[in-house]
Amino acid sequence: MSEMKTAAYICSGCGIGDKIDVKSLEKIATREGKMALVKSHEFLCGEAGVGMIRNDIDNEGVTHVMIAGCSRRAKTEAFHFPTTAMARANLREGVLWVVAEGDEHDEVRQEMADDYVRMGCAELKKMQVPAGNPATAQNKRILVVGGGFSGMTAALAAAEAGYEAVIVEKTGELGGWAGKSWKRVPGAAPYADPQDTGIADLIARVKSSPKITVHLSSTLAETRGAPGRFAADVATESGSVTTEEVGAIIQANGFTPYDIAKLPELGGGTNPNVVDHAGLEALAIAAKGDTIKRADGKEVKSVVFLQCAGQRDDSGKHLPYCSGHCCATSIKQAMYFKDANPNVDTVVMYQDLRVPGMGEDFYRSAQQKGVVFTKGKAAAVEPAGDGCRVAFRDLILDEDTALEADLVVLATGQVANSGVNIELPDDDPAKAQKTSVLNLAYRQGKDLPILKHGFNDSHFICFPYETRRTGIYAVGPVRRPMDAQQAEEDAVGAALKAIQAVENASLGRAAHPRSGDLSFPKVRLEGCTQCKRCTVECPFGAIDEDEKRFPLFNESRCRRCGTCMGACPVRVISFENYNVDTVGSQIKCLDMPDEFSEKPRILILACENDAYPALDMAGLQRHVYSAFVRAIPVRCLGSTNLVWITDALNSGWDGIIMMGCKKGDDYQCHFVKGSEMAHYRLSKVDDTLKQLGLEPERVVTHEIAITDNVRCAQIINDYVAQIMEIGLSPMKGFG
């Protein structure tokens, strides 16, 4: 962009012109905002209004557009000028709809609108049109780690969409656990009988697909690169290594059943007549639909399934979670017996029968077939005569009792094959015990981060397959416990996500949640002090280190959240259209009333994903809030640089509200760790406040969900009242 020509367009539609003096806004845009061109229109998003802007861009050489009207979240299709830098001043949702009605509020309403125009102009002048990432990578193949049900489904989904897939399977054959099962829980109406696993068909389709390459008995020795340009060293058991160039990775390496030897009180590992689900599948495969025989060859006449064995345990000894599939799996296995011989006594002993999806029909079908369901908790399994004696508490009849059976099946849970826990220190023995799955050559560690209970990363709330490593997607039981039906959905979803990732990478654009964003972090290395804060704080592991220990940005791994920018103490990281100056200049451009005006100014830094929409919605529903606040959207609260706080306080702002997403294990942050980082950094802001001689209440943080429109209006009003009580900032007039 050779020369910058700015233009401001002020809309007086939607009632803005009735309540706000547009002439005054024009004057401010010209005199203070220094806009080269200032125009107002009564219906800016209409054909004539948009035509006027387009004409100025095409014929007047306008390169930078400031639109004052509705929120930046509204009318994005009308105001779509991709070649132009654009700032929006939120006069409708941010002023008109939230400031109390009535003439007595005219003055503060006008001041608020004036300030938003000032801020829009200030921001605009610091922006550039993102030129896009020149370092695009074109590889569109998809690597699938794991050749089980999830892995094969994902590879086939990618292949059917026209993308090449590479499967790396550790064992000598495809199929995984599903391949070692006799049948599966039904996935189609009438959900009454176990159905064929479909694995043979999947394997045949994978083998015959010209787009799928399979590496058996192989693991990943090392994985380097970024979306669009990953290189994976595939090592076979015999030691030979091939390097596969791929664009995205799907990790579908599944689970290991919880070791029944850890349940000796239930006969696990000690009693040959106690097996787990996998053990029973083996017996069922051997029986081929006929009467199931025990390992010693005796026909099973009675069988008991003990649910939640080593699961949902609050003592800390076993798995604390529910694996979700085991109730339906036990029902399926009980049907193996009943279908072969209705006279076999089958008891499923449960504490809560959980059959998600259409499992309720399956449960009913089992009851029809005569499977007995007993609500009870097993205390011990002991050998008795030729079989086992299960001592348990009947939770309906409320008594300790016992029953005898030829065979006991323990419904143990799924343990994720999640590789090493990269958050443990290197000398932790628990880390050394695990083998890495991906062997990533990332500064941040060899595997995907672990979120909870040993399961790999997943954005549970909004984007289930997304992990904190862009272009690498976790599917199936490695990200959360699940059955085949859920894994199927997972695998197809992740395949499409992987396709999106490679396509975005090939165009130099961001992946979700800022899909299509062409801006990317630029770093001024001359100013870098090699403090490593950006590399550590980046939630996505996008930043490595080069040989000289400077940060090395992998643009296609970057999600454009700006957490690195917020972290940088010397402020050398910036985006073309979002940087320390675009926000900083807005903070400093205000017409700050003096200390005795009784007009405080409160800065809101609002996350653009949840908090800013919530504020917009407060306006949409006409929840009145104070006209003393000025809201600035930020990409993520994690991008908040402390210099903004210091600048604001030095410029005489009376208080700052930071609005971000929920942090912690049940986070709602679109960038997973962004809001957590912001909270962490702000925990140290008290020192700054002390140095400035200000009260700690001058900076507050709130977790805001997108639905919190009423609440954020309340928060604002309460905070303004609190600031009035403390008194206005003594820092005014020095900035």
Ranges of H-type helices in 589-731: 611-620, 642-650, 674-682, 685-691, 709-726
Q: Is the peptide bond before 130 cis (omega within 30 degrees of 0)?
A: no
Q: Among 24, 243, 401, 683, indicate the residue that binds another protein (CB under 8 A).
A: 401
Which residue, 335, 274, 283, 281, is CA-closest to 309? 274
Positions 686 through 725 that interact with another protein (CB under 8 A): none
- Is the distance from CB of 700 to CB of 655 less than 8 angstroms? yes
Question: Which regions of 589-642 does DSSP assign to beta strands (E)?
Answer: 602-607, 629-634
Tell me the window of 217-225, 362-370, 494-502, 644-652 that interacts with another protein (CB under 8 A): 362-370
What is the residue whose two structure tokens read 């015959």? Answer: 208
Would you count residue 191 as binding another protein (CB under 8 A)?
Answer: no
Beta-ladder partners of 299 = 293
Task: Rank residues 233 and 394 by Cβ distance to another protein and give the closer one.
Answer: 394
Would you count residue 482 as binding another protein (CB under 8 A)?
Answer: no
Would you count residue 365 as binding another protein (CB under 8 A)?
Answer: no
* CB 669 to another protein: min, Å: 39
Would you count residue 393 as binding another protein (CB under 8 A)?
Answer: no
Would you count residue 391 as binding another protein (CB under 8 A)?
Answer: no
Task: Rank residues 174 and 349 by Cβ distance to another protein and give the closer one.
Answer: 349
Task: Rank residues 367 and 530 by Cβ distance to another protein and give the closer one.
Answer: 367
Tell me the window of 119-127, 310-318, 400-408, 711-719 that interacts with another protein (CB under 8 A): 400-408
* CB 395 to another protein: min, Å: 9
What is the residue whose two structure tokens read 């367009």? Answer: 9
The 3-class SS string of 330-394 reads HHHHHHHHHHHCCCCEEEEEECCCCCCCCHHHHHHHHHHCCCEEEEEEEEEEEEECCEEEEEEEE
Task: Rank residues 193 and 581 by Cβ distance to another protein and give the closer one.
Answer: 193
Q: Among 339, 404, 489, 595, indicate the residue that binds another protein (CB under 8 A).
A: 404
Would you count residue 406 as binding another protein (CB under 8 A)?
Answer: no
Tell the burial category of 396 from Cβ atoms under 10 Å away from its Cβ (0-12, 13-18, 19+).
exposed
Positions 289 through 328 that interact with another protein (CB under 8 A): 302, 304
Would you count residue 515 as binding another protein (CB under 8 A)?
Answer: no
Q: Among 305, 373, 575, 625, indicate the residue that binds another protein (CB under 8 A).
A: 373
Tell me the window of 24-32, 148-156, 402-410, 614-622 that interacts with another protein (CB under 8 A): 402-410
Q: Among 26, 93, 111, 345, indicate the residue that binds another protein (CB under 8 A).
A: 345
Would you count residue 397 as binding another protein (CB under 8 A)?
Answer: yes
* CB 390 to another protein: min, Å: 9
Would you count residue 364 as binding another protein (CB under 8 A)?
Answer: yes
Task: Rank residues 404 and 595 by Cβ distance to another protein and give the closer one.
Answer: 404
* CB 325 to another protein: min, Å: 19
Quick one: tokens of 75? 């009318």
For residue 217, the Cα-to-chain-centroid distance in whole angstroms is: 32
Task: Rank residues 347 and 699 by Cβ distance to another protein and give the closer one.
Answer: 347
Q: How many residues bind another protein (CB under 8 A)?
A: 22
Q: Is the peptide bond before 569 cis (omega within 30 degrees of 0)?
A: no
CA 566 – CA 326 distance, rounded (Å) = 45
- Is the distance from CB of 150 to CB of 254 less than 8 angstroms? yes
Would you count residue 353 as binding another protein (CB under 8 A)?
Answer: yes
CA 331 – CA 322 distance, rounded (Å) = 16
Angle at which helices 642-650 and 580-588 cross, to 10°: 10
Quick one: tokens of 589? 């451009």
- Is the distance from CB of 415 to CB of 256 less than 8 angstroms? yes
Tell me the window of 152-160, 394-402, 500-508, 662-670 that interacts with another protein (CB under 8 A): 394-402
Binding site for another protein (CB under 8 A): 302, 304, 343, 345, 347, 353, 363-364, 367-368, 370, 372-375, 394, 396-397, 401-404
